[in-house]
Amino acid sequence: MSQTSLKIPSDPKVWTQKVAHLARLDLTPEELATFAPQLEKIRNYMSELAEVSTQGVEPLMNPLAEQGAFLREDVIQESVAPVLECAPDVNESSFTVPPIL
Amino acid sequence: MDFKNLSITQLHQAYESGSASPVEVVEAYLQQARVSDLGTWVTLCEGRALRQAQEAYSRLEKNGRKIPVNEPLFGVPMGLKDNLCLKGVRTTCASKILENYIAPYTATSVERLEQAGAIILGKLNLDEFAMGGSNENSAFGPVKNPNDHTRVSGGSSGGAAASVKAGECLVSLGSDTGGSVRLPASYCGVVGFKPTYGRVSRSGLVAFASSLDQIGTFGKTVADAARVFEVISGPDSRDSTSAHKIPKADCSRVKIDFSKIRVGVPQEFLNQASVQPEVEQATQSMLEVLKKKGATVVPVSIPHLKYSISVYYIVAMSEASSNLSRYDGVRYGVRSASVDSAKNLQDFYEKNRRLFGAEVKRRILLGTFALSSGYADEYFKKACQVRRLIQQDFIRAFEKVDFLLSPVAPTTAFKLGEKSEDPLQMYLNDLYTIPANLVGLPALSLPWGEDTQGLPIGVHFLAATGKDESLLALASELEGSHS
């Protein structure tokens, strides 16, 4: 078992709640009770990757990574879509949100 | 005239002979869609489709009742999985959080379809944000299997597969991230094709997992699925992950000589305890047909294959957690919390994001965990490294064979509700289809007989990167050879 996996709290509800906060998901007590054991079971299954030797192996992030990103010329074009059109609530040319601070 | 069982070629012949007109064909398909009890459609674009049909009729008449040469999909009634944007039409991704979202632009692939003369009938049901393998995760109800209404259609492109089988559209577009075109194709009994990663633009496809997603095509025949692929394929400046070194597809270039073909079943896929006997028999019978036609069957191994599911789910969930962070009620979608009712921005985000369904929330949670500080190396980075090893295994395998073969899924379509309780069980169902997405390979599900209850079985083919035309040519030669 690696160092980092020892840091996972033994109660799945605790780490599920912490991750929910990071993901800006507000789980009900029922959701927490249902999800926590499911997520723990899935996480345990995925821990099988620890047995694979990957010394010196470059991570593969995208099947076409070698070709490089397909970039167009840096020239101003018409906006693809009217950005504010889908917004639930706007104030002139801005989206409204509650206070951040 | 029964329009339901026509191929695209036969439809065009009917248009040219005058035995059918675009308006009556579109109306017939729309009527099938209206009365459908399969749960296939989220939105029907009736007025829009009939206008397109009228315009098609005018073009046909002006052209001396000949199909315009630049419109290979002239007058073809099509459906789009509801994670593909069509300007002015609702795009929900089968989620409450996008229930009111009207797309302000059209996906590149859909623009290409319409330029080629296709007529869009509407938007098709899916698992929410394409997350699922049974189409039971939609906020708008499940999609039922046309062959047996008590069973699932498969997912996540359940509506796209079922609608083609049921004659509610002639061909359709779906998306495939871990098998979401091929699996429902197999369960419903239609052809489902996933191109090489990057050969079809993802611009306008709502992102689930950006290094895995690819738009795929459904048809009753390989020729129809292939024609749609040709139309939508090709580089796109709006998609920076577009394969700009691989040209637009041309399926006429490739002819199959079976005496030169080498095929193999990865040995790691053999002797799986969970495989239904008739599914195993279907794979074996396909191998026999290939041998009879002159192909050579070669033993082949993908040593890291067994880790595919873990790699896939870590990568897919991580990418999904990032892609779905944009759904916060600020710029689009449903804003269920008003600016005044939220305590602060955190609270605002949390209230709005309550609208996600359970499977979406699970995947966002796991993805966030796999990317979080202290765990990202052990989970996400590790998964990407093993992904590289799997890719290398496939590169080596394709030095020995031209095509790989396997079942599409361990079983035929299961009953609605049968697998809902255990998410991990559902994930394990994807073992055959996932590797193609990890490595970006073209793959196809070809209908190949039925089980003893009459449920369709699909056989799965994989080819090397960029060999889409060869794969489609092979499938076309094998189609209909099942005895």
Q: Which among A68, A39, A46, A12 is positioned nearest to B382, based on CA atoms? A: A46
- B84: its two tokens: 């593909």
In chain B, whose CA is at the least distance from the CA of A85?
B104
Whole-angstrom Cα distance, residue B258 to residue B256? Answer: 6
Nearest to B339 among A23, A24, A96 (CB): A96
- B71: its two tokens: 């419109």
**DSSP character string of B20-88:** --HHHHHHHHHHHHHH--S--EEEE-HHHHHHHHHHHHHHHHHTTS---TT-TTTT-EEEEETTB--TT
How confident is the model over B237-249, as a mean pLDDT?
A: 93
Instruction: Chain A: give the shortest CA distance to residue B25, in Å.
Output: 33
> φ, ψ for residue B311 (rounded to 5)?
-60, -50
Q: How many CB atoms lie within 10 A of CB B240?
A: 15
How confident is the model over B429-455, as a mean pLDDT?
A: 97
> Do residues A45 and A38 make contact, with C-beta atoms less than 8 angstroms apart?
no
Q: Hey, which residues of B are catalytic here?
A: 81, 156, 180
**Across the strands, what pairs with B442?**
none
Whole-angstrom Cα distance, residue A47 to residue A45? Answer: 5
Per-residue pLDDT band at B284 (split at 50, 70, 90): very high
Q: What is the pLDDT of residues B134-162, one digit of tens each?
A: 999 999 999 999 999 999 999 999 999 99
Q: What is the pLDDT of residues B401-418, one digit of tens each?
A: 999 999 999 999 999 999
User: Angle at the Cα of B340 (from B334 to B341), degrees rounded to 5?
Assistant: 70
Instruction: Chain B: give the shortest CA distance to residue A34, in Å.
Output: 10
Q: What is the pLDDT of residue B460?
A: 98
Interface check for A42 against chain B (CB to CB < 8 A): the answer is yes
CB contact under 8 A, A60 and B388: yes
In chain B, whose CA is at the least distance from the CA of A5?
B375
Contacts of A39 in chain B (CB under 8 A): 362, 365-366, 369
Interface check for B258 against chain A (CB to CB < 8 A): the answer is no
- B357: its two tokens: 């369904």
Q: What is the pLDDT of residue A3?
A: 37
| pLDDT tens, chain A, 101 aa long | 333 444 677 899 999 999 999 999 999 999 999 999 999 999 999 999 999 999 999 999 999 988 877 777 888 887 766 778 889 888 888 888 877 76
Strands B403-407, B456-463: pairing is antiparallel
User: Angle at the Cα of B102 (from B228 to A74), degrees rounded to 5?
Assistant: 70
Q: Which among B165, B172, B162 is positioned nearest to B136, based on CA atoms? A: B162
CB contact under 8 A, A64 and B331: no
CB contact residues (below 8 A), chain B span 355-394, against chain A? 356, 358, 361-362, 364-366, 368-369, 372, 374-375, 377-379, 381-389, 391
Contacts of A56 in chain B (CB under 8 A): none
Whole-angstrom Cα distance, residue B115 to residue B39? Answer: 29
Interface check for B321 against chain A (CB to CB < 8 A): the answer is yes
> Do residues B223 and B230 make contact, with C-beta atoms less than 8 angstroms apart?
no
Instruction: Chain A: give the shortest CA distance to residue B322, in Å.
Output: 9
Give the list of residues 6+ apart from residue B264 with CB closer than 8 angstroms, or none: B297, B298, B299, B300, B397, B400, B401, B403, B404, B405
> How many interchain CB pairs under 8 A, A with B?
185
Mean pLDDT: which of A70-74, B50-54, B327-331 is highest?
B50-54
Whole-angstrom Cα distance, residue B312 to residue B367? Answer: 11
Per-residue pLDDT band at B51 (split at 50, 70, 90): very high
What proportion of chain B, given as a percentage, has pLDDT over 90? 90
CB contact under 8 A, A59 and B381: yes
CB contact under 8 A, B241 and A2: no
- Provide Rg for chain A, Cα atoms: 22
Instruction: Chain B: give the shortest CA distance to residue A78, in Å.
Output: 13
**Across the strands, what pairs with B450?**
B456
Mean pLDDT of chain B: 95
CB contact under 8 A, B211 and A61: yes
Nearest to B105 among A31, A81, A89 (CB): A81
Nearest to A86 among B104, B242, B325 (CB): B104
**Does B420 have pLDDT greater than 80?**
no
Whole-angstrom Cα distance, residue B290 to residue B272? Answer: 22
Nearest to A38 among B241, B349, B362 (CB): B362
Cis peptide before B156 (omega within 30 of 0): yes
Q: What is the pLDDT of residue A6?
A: 42
Pseudo-torsion of CA B31, B37, B40, B46, nearest 10°?
Answer: 30
Whole-angstrom Cα distance, residue B7 to residue B337? Answer: 49
Q: What is the pLDDT of residue A4?
A: 41
CB contact under 8 A, B332 and A86: yes
CB contact residues (below 8 A), chain B span 262-301, against chain A? none
Q: How many CB atoms lie within 10 A of CB B399?
A: 8
Q: What is the pLDDT of residue B144?
A: 98
- B343: its two tokens: 């305590």
In chain B, whose CA is at the least distance from the CA of A80?
B105
Least confident range from A82-86, B32-36, B127-131, B156-160: namely A82-86
Mean pLDDT: which of A60-74, B262-276, B382-396 is highest?
B382-396
- Cα distance between the two ends of chain B: 29
Contacts of B235 in chain A (CB under 8 A): 70
**Does B83 have pLDDT greater than 90?**
yes
Nearest to A89 among B339, B361, B369 (CB): B339
3-class state of residue B468 by DSSP = helix
Q: Which among B132, B79, B70, B199 is positioned nearest to B359, based on CA atoms? A: B132
Strands B403-407, B262-264: pairing is parallel
